Structure 1
């Protein structure tokens, strides 16, 4: 295992992406056996673009998907 690369003195700098990689691995990668690298790349891309970004709700985003949270953010910014 490789050490996390964060700014000096900031051990939490990479926490969000480390959490994402853990979620990706536990929800998809460890559950599947890919026949080829192409299949793995295709299924991981679909997981991220279709499921994770558009459907999977997250507590830290007010139980919205990342896409819905981003959309709400920009709509509120325009309205303000």
Structure 2
């Protein structure tokens, strides 16, 4: 990598992975919930559960990505990296 250890630390930040997956799954589940038919809504006692679950996952994923953007991961100091 040309960016060094700092770029590698940001690339493999777990918040980016979790946030990205929750955003993608939230969009998929939310879109499914948006187009649910009456039978699916009746199964959930009149609640569009897929839509609400998708929105919750989307918000959580966006918060994780926002957290990663506002407080990026710092690479370990040189003296800490040598200790194992």
Structure 1 and Structure 2 fold alike (TM over 0.5): no
Give the alignment's TM-score, normalised by structure 1: 0.30
Structure 1 or 2, whichever has the larger Rg, is 2
Higher RCO by CA contacts (8 Å cutoff, separation 6 or greater): 2
Whichever structure has more helix as a proportion of its residues is: 2
Give the alignment's TM-score, normalised by structure 2: 0.29
